[in-house]
Structure 1
Amino acid sequence: MIEQALVDLWHGFAVAGEPHNLMWSFIGVLIGNLIGVLPGMGALSAISMLLPLTYGLHVVPAVLMLAGIFYGSQYGGAIGAILLNLPCHPPHAVTCLDGYPLTKQGRGGTALGITMISSFFAASFGILVMVFASPLLLKVAFKFGPTEIFSIMLLGLVCGGTLSRGSALKGISMTLFGLLAGAVGTDVNSGVARFTFGFPELTDKLELVALALGLFGVTEFLININRMDAVIAGPTLKWRDMRPSRGEMKEAFWPMVRGTLVGTLFGAMPGTGPTITTFLAYALERKISKNPESFGKGAIAGVASPEAASHSKTQVDFIPTMSLGIPGDAVMALILGALLIHGITPGPELVTQHADLFWGLIASFWIGNILLVILNVPLIGLWVKLLRVPYRFLLPSALFFIAVGVYSTNNSLFEVGEVLFFGLIGVVFVSLKFPVSPILLGYVLGPMVEENFRRAVLLSNGEISVFVEKPISAVFMGITATVLLLQIYFAIQRGRSIRLCRRKANKEHLPG
Structure 2
Amino acid sequence: METLTALAGGFATALTPTHLLFAFAGCFLGTAVGVLPGIGPALTVALLLPITFQVPATSAFILFAGVYYGAMYGGSTTSILLNTPGESATIITALEGFQMARRGRAGPALATAAIGSFVAGTIATIALTFFAPIVVELALRLGPAEYFSLMVIAFVAVSSVLGASVLRGLTTLFLGLLLGVVGVDLQTGQPRFTFGMIEFLDGIEVTIVAVGLFAVAETLHLATRRKHGEDEILPLSGSLWLSREDWARSWKPWLRGACIGFPFGAIPAGGSELPTFLSYFMEKKLSRQPQQFGQGAIEGVAGPEAANNAAAAGVLMPMLTLGLPTSVTAAIMLSAFQSYGIQPGPLLFVNQAELIWGLIASLYVGNLMLLVLNLPLIGLWVRILKIPQPQLYAGILVFATIGAYGVSNSVIDLLVMYAVGVVGMLMKRYDFPVAPAVIGMILGPLAEQAFRQALTISQGDWTTFVTRPISAVFLTIALALAGGPAVWRAVVMTRRASA
Q: Does TM, normalized by the shorter one, top 0.5?
A: yes
Pick which of 487-496 and 102-111 moved more: 487-496
Matched, 1:43 2:41: yes
In 2, Cα distance between equivalents of 1:100 and 1:273: 24
For structure 1, the residue ranges without an aligned partner over 5 or more in a row are 505-512
1:147 alignment counterpart: 145
1:262 alignment counterpart: 260
Q: Describe the superposition over 1:425-467 as per-residue Cα deviations: whole angstroms up to 9, x where unpaired.
A: 1122222221111111111100100011111111110011111
In 2, Cα distance between equivalents of 1:421 and 1:410: 17
Matched, 1:198 2:160: no
Instruction: Give the counterpart letter for 1:75 in structure 2.
Output: Y
1:508 alignment counterpart: none
**Cα gap change, 1:451/1:274 in structure 2, threshold over 3 Å: closer, same or farther?**
same
Aligned residues: 497
Tell me by how many angstroms 1:107 deviates: 1.0
Query: What TM-score comes out, normalization by structure 2 length?
Result: 0.95
Does structure 1 retain, via aligned residues, the 8 Å contact 2:271–2:315?
no
Q: 2:295 aligns with which of 271, 294, 297?
A: 297
**Cα gap change, 1:165/1:285 in structure 2, threshold over 3 Å: closer, same or farther?**
farther
In 1, Cα distance between equivalents of 2:474 and 2:418: 38
Q: Describe the superposition over 1:82-114 as per-residue Cα deviations: whole angstroms up to 9, x where unpaired.
A: 112121221111111110111111111111110
1:227 alignment counterpart: 227
Instruction: Give the counterpart letter for 2:113 in structure 1.
Output: T
Q: 1:280 aligns with which of 278, 281, 297?
A: 278
In 2, Cα distance between equivalents of 1:389 and 1:461: 61
1:344 alignment counterpart: 342
Instruction: Give the counterpart letter for 2:363 in structure 1.
Output: F
Tell me by how many angstroms 1:474 deviates: 2.0
Tell me by how many angstroms 1:292 deviates: 2.0
**Cα gap change, 1:495/1:217 in structure 2, threshold over 3 Å: closer, same or farther?**
farther
In 2, Cα distance between equivalents of 1:135 and 1:408: 37
* Equivalent position SS for 1:296: coil
Instruction: Give the counterpart letter for 2:79 in structure 1.
Output: A
Does structure 2 retain, via aligned residues, the 8 Å contact 1:230–1:389?
no
Pick which of 464-473 and 8-17 moved more: 464-473
Tell me by how many angstroms 1:471 deviates: 2.4
In 1, Cα distance between equivalents of 2:341 and 2:491: 45
Pick which of 426-435 and 36-45 moved more: 426-435
Tell me by how many angstroms 1:247 deviates: 1.2
Tell me by how many angstroms 1:265 deviates: 2.0
Pick which of 111-120 and 50-59 moved more: 50-59
Instruction: Give the counterpart letter for 1:318 in structure 2.
Output: L
**Cα gap change, 1:494/1:55 in structure 2, threshold over 3 Å: closer, same or farther?**
farther
* Equivalent position SS for 2:201: helix
Does structure 2 retain, via aligned residues, the 8 Å contact 1:37–1:88?
yes
Tell me by how many angstroms 1:470 deviates: 2.0
1:467 alignment counterpart: 465
Matched, 1:109 2:104: no
How do 1:314-353 residues align onto structure 2 when only pairs under 5 Å count? Answer: 314-353=312-351
In 1, Cα distance between equivalents of 2:378 and 2:42: 23
Matched, 1:361 2:362: no
How do 1:378-417 residues align onto structure 2 when only pairs under 5 Å count? Answer: 378-417=376-415
Q: Describe the superposition over 1:47-106 as per-residue Cα deviations: whole angstroms up to 9, x where unpaired.
A: 011110122122111111111111111111111111121212211111111101111111
**Misfit runs of 4+, over 4 Å:** 491-498
Does structure 2 retain, via aligned residues, the 8 Å contact 1:262–1:277?
yes
Q: Describe the superposition over 1:461-496 as per-residue Cα deviations: whole angstroms up to 9, x where unpaired.
A: 001111122222222122112212213324545787
In 1, Cα distance between equivalents of 2:426 and 2:233: 33
Instruction: Give the counterpart letter for 1:41 in structure 2.
Output: I
Instruction: Give the counterpart letter for 2:440 in structure 1.
Output: G
* Equivalent position SS for 1:468: helix
Report sequence identity in percent. Answer: 36
1:68 alignment counterpart: 66
Q: Describe the superposition over 1:245-270 as per-residue Cα deviations: whole angstroms up to 9, x where unpaired.
A: 12101101111221111101201211
- The CA RMSD measured in Å over matched residues stands at 2.0
2:416 alignment counterpart: 418
In 1, Cα distance between equivalents of 2:363 and 2:217: 30
1:7 alignment counterpart: 5
Tell me by how many angstroms 1:198 deviates: 3.4
**Cα gap change, 1:495/1:205 in structure 2, threshold over 3 Å: closer, same or farther?**
farther
**Cα gap change, 1:403/1:497 in structure 2, threshold over 3 Å: closer, same or farther?**
farther
Does structure 1 retain, via aligned residues, the 8 Å contact 2:124–2:313?
yes
Does structure 2 retain, via aligned residues, the 8 Å contact 1:324–1:347?
yes
**Cα gap change, 1:227/1:419 in structure 2, threshold over 3 Å: closer, same or farther?**
farther
* Equivalent position SS for 1:312: helix
In 1, Cα distance between equivalents of 2:66 and 2:198: 37
Does structure 2 retain, via aligned residues, the 8 Å contact 1:126–1:316?
yes
Tell me by how many angstroms 1:273 deviates: 2.2
Instruction: Give the counterpart letter for 2:69 in structure 1.
Output: Y
In 2, Cα distance between equivalents of 1:179 and 1:285: 40
In 2, Cα distance between equivalents of 1:494 and 1:51: 45
In 1, Cα distance between equivalents of 2:136 and 2:394: 48
Query: What TM-score comes out, normalization by structure 1 length?
Result: 0.93
Pick which of 474-483 and 118-127 moved more: 474-483
* Equivalent position SS for 1:242: coil
For structure 2, the residue ranges without an aligned partner over 5 or more in a row are none
In 1, Cα distance between equivalents of 2:493 and 2:455: 39
In 2, Cα distance between equivalents of 1:487 and 1:236: 44
Tell me by how many angstroms 1:299 deviates: 0.3
Tell me by how many angstroms 1:138 deviates: 4.3
* Equivalent position SS for 1:396: helix
2:427 alignment counterpart: 429
1:218 alignment counterpart: 216
Does structure 2 retain, via aligned residues, the 8 Å contact 1:182–1:205?
yes
Pick which of 70-79 and 22-31 moved more: 22-31
1:242 alignment counterpart: 240
Pick which of 126-135 and 226-235 moved more: 226-235
Matched, 1:253 2:251: yes
Instruction: Give the counterpart letter for 2:194 in structure 1.
Output: T
Does structure 2 retain, via aligned residues, the 8 Å contact 1:228–1:392?
no
* Equivalent position SS for 1:204: coil
Does structure 2 retain, via aligned residues, the 8 Å contact 1:134–1:351?
no
In 1, Cα distance between equivalents of 2:20 and 2:142: 34
Tell me by how many angstroms 1:199 deviates: 3.0
Instruction: Give the counterpart letter for 2:53 in structure 1.
Output: Y
Tell me by how many angstroms 1:228 deviates: 4.8
